[in-house]
Structure 1
Amino acid sequence: MLWSERMVVRDGVRLVCRDWGGLGHPVVLLHGLAGHAGEWDVPARLLTRRFRVVAVDQRGHGASDRYPHDVSRSAYVADIAAVIDQLELERPVLVGQSLGGHTAMLTAAAHPELVRALVLIEAAPGDPNPQTPKDIGTWLGSWPIPFPSRQAAVAFFGGGPVGEGWAAGLEERDDGWHPRIDRDVMVASLADNAQRSFRPAWRHVTCPALVVLAQSSFISESDIDAMLEQRPETRAMSVPGTGHDLHLEQPEALHSMLLGFLEDLT
């Protein structure tokens, strides 16, 4: 194991982090909805050559408390502020994929004094969409739980590095492989996004920002155009031949983009 487990407790909720160490400026990695900190293992190993790296299992995910009493966007943000404080990470760069990127953005907007820079991977402020929680609930409900084997889970999640990454978030029990999340908690975590726009928060981000998109992106062109219009100094890059989980598909290409952006901050 190249990382050590660190625990942060905020408002009674236990958050587990993978602390990869490293001597450089801190970088905090945030997974997406229904994900886990282990998704970042390959990028984390690469980044530790130059940076102090911490990957967080966010509330309701992975090794952190599975049934937190509050899954609002503000609770997720307060968690990251607590991680920064309790692990003594001086003005880290926040790197988040999908909903983790959304959390990173909101944290940078709410706590500009805590965040040095922001990287959004397949993430955008977005407008309210009441259908999103329903769609996510349907997708999670389609999982054949328990999976009879890890190999079956890899195949269900699409095979290759994406399937392996998702399967790594499961836990083995006597009757098979189970997710380390609760469907209802995941659906509730999207309630705020279903009800209001977070575009004002993007306008309040003051730190340097990089947006990394997949070739087959979940983010619409109109959303990207709006982001760049509101913050024209934002860098935007795309990783060819990738989908929404580009951090699993092409971690080396992502690392190169991150490294170029991070080196320009020094």
Structure 2
Amino acid sequence: MPTRQTLNLNNLQLSYLEWNQAETPLLALHGLADHGLVWSSLGDYLAAEYHIIAPDLRGHGESSKPPQGYRFIDYIQDLEALMNHLGWKNAHILGHSWGAKLAAIWATQHPERFRSLTLIDPFFIDKMPSWFNLTFPILYQVLPFLKVMGPFPNYQAAEKIAQGLKQYRGWTILQQQIFQEGMEQKADGTWGSKFIKPARDEIFEDVMRVAGLTKPLDIPTLFIKPKQGLNRTEWQLKPYKTYLKNLQIEEVPGNHWAFLVEPEAFNQTVKGFLSKM
């Protein structure tokens, strides 16, 4: 089982889960509106071979939620500080969805930090046209990971919505725990996600204006492509094949949250890739 740790960074507290049974460093970055516990199955699976850190990125989970400061540059500064705190010069680094785009940008800026890079069904890797911002109100309503932001009159109402979402398909004990850990009762008595709207709004603006891949990278990279994921066409895969010169693409069962809905196949795929490094 992981332990929860807290790193104080100026006016920010960064909370993270740690599996500390081995020495080889592995850093796992969750997607938008999630938190570090989503890596629980993978962490348990790899714990005997890796020193695993799964942070709650700022604005998420148990980490601080400042009123602003949710650009990629802010998250990379947090992660650089976390690496320094751990005494890690580099690590195997994986990211999911928005966290995958964050990892790709970080790799472009600081490739020396990466022993390997694992991208799990990345989200909007390219820079998007400005008119796309007009679709934000619609996206906020339809994207599965934002449907539990709330407010809800009580926890039961929120859980009823969650049980019908793709990321909680099957509603396993772990999925239920992950959902519970991501929710809280607000000051007015309603319930909602620990992920906050200022973070949502600023992150979406940055996702649209910043390209995830801008120059060739030689880092050994695994692209995990779920069968029911976001990246299904050759056109979507083109940026990765263009910029990632040491790329391996593996298809796994499940949807965008393959590590939650089909964890066994997902864990085996990650382990197989890392074992070759």
Q: CA 1:69–1:9 in 2, change beyond 3 Å: closer, same or farther?
A: farther
| Conservation of the 8 A alpha-carbon contact between 2:149 and 2:195 | no
Indicate whether 1:122 and 2:130 are aligned.
no
Q: CA 1:65–1:133 in 2, change beyond 3 Å: closer, same or farther?
A: farther
Q: Structure 1: how far apart are the matches of 2:62 and 2:32?
A: 14
Query: Which residues in structure 2 correspond to 1:71-220 (within 5 Å)?
Result: 71-123=70-122, 125-129=125-129, 130-131=132-133, 133-139=136-142, 140=146, 143-146=149-152, 147-149=154-156, 151-158=159-166, 159-161=169-171, 164=176, 165-172=178-185, 175=189, 177-200=191-214, 203-220=215-232
* Unpaired stretches in structure 1, ≥5 consecutive residues: none
| Conservation of the 8 A alpha-carbon contact between 2:185 and 2:192 | yes
Instruction: Give the drift of 1:145.
Output: 2.2
Instruction: Give the drift of 1:161.
Output: 4.3
| Conservation of the 8 A alpha-carbon contact between 1:67 and 1:182 | no
Match of 1:261 in 2: 273
| SS at 1:61 equivalent | coil
Of 174-183 and 212-221, more deviation after overlay is shown by 174-183
Instruction: Give the drift of 1:199.
Output: 2.8
| SS at 2:240 equivalent | helix
Question: In the TM superposition, what whole-angstrom CA distance separates every residue of 1:87-118 from its partner, at most 9, and x where no partner exists?
Answer: 22341111110011111111222112222110
Q: CA 1:110–1:153 in 2, change beyond 3 Å: closer, same or farther?
A: same
How many residue pairs get aligned? The number is 261
| SS at 1:253 equivalent | helix
Q: CA 1:157–1:66 in 2, change beyond 3 Å: closer, same or farther?
A: farther
Question: In the TM superposition, what whole-angstrom CA distance separates every residue of 1:24-68 from its partner, at most 9, and x where no partner exists?
Answer: 311111110011111111111111021111101001000001235
Query: Which residues in structure 2 correspond to 1:35-46 (within 5 Å)?
Result: 35-46=34-45
Instruction: Give the drift of 1:253.
Output: 1.1
* Unpaired stretches in structure 2, ≥5 consecutive residues: none
TM-score by length of structure 1 reads 0.88
Q: CA 1:161–1:214 in 2, change beyond 3 Å: closer, same or farther?
A: farther
Question: In the TM superposition, what whole-angstrom CA distance separates every residue of 1:152-203 from its partner, at most 9, and x where no partner exists?
Answer: 2532435424863444411356946421011232121121222243330xx3
Instruction: Give the drift of 1:231.
Output: 2.6
Indicate whether 1:230 and 2:248 are aligned.
no
Q: CA 1:87–1:97 in 2, change beyond 3 Å: closer, same or farther?
A: same
Of 139-148 and 4-13, more deviation after overlay is shown by 139-148
Instruction: Give the drift of 1:232.
Output: 4.2
Match of 1:55 in 2: 54
| Conservation of the 8 A alpha-carbon contact between 1:30 and 1:100 | yes
Alignment match of 2:264 (pick from 220, 241, 252): 252
TM-score by length of structure 2 reads 0.84
Letter in 1 for 2:242: E
Q: Structure 1: how far apart are the matches of 2:211 and 2:261?
A: 30
| Conservation of the 8 A alpha-carbon contact between 2:150 and 2:191 | no
Q: Structure 1: how far apart are the matches of 2:108 and 2:38?
A: 25
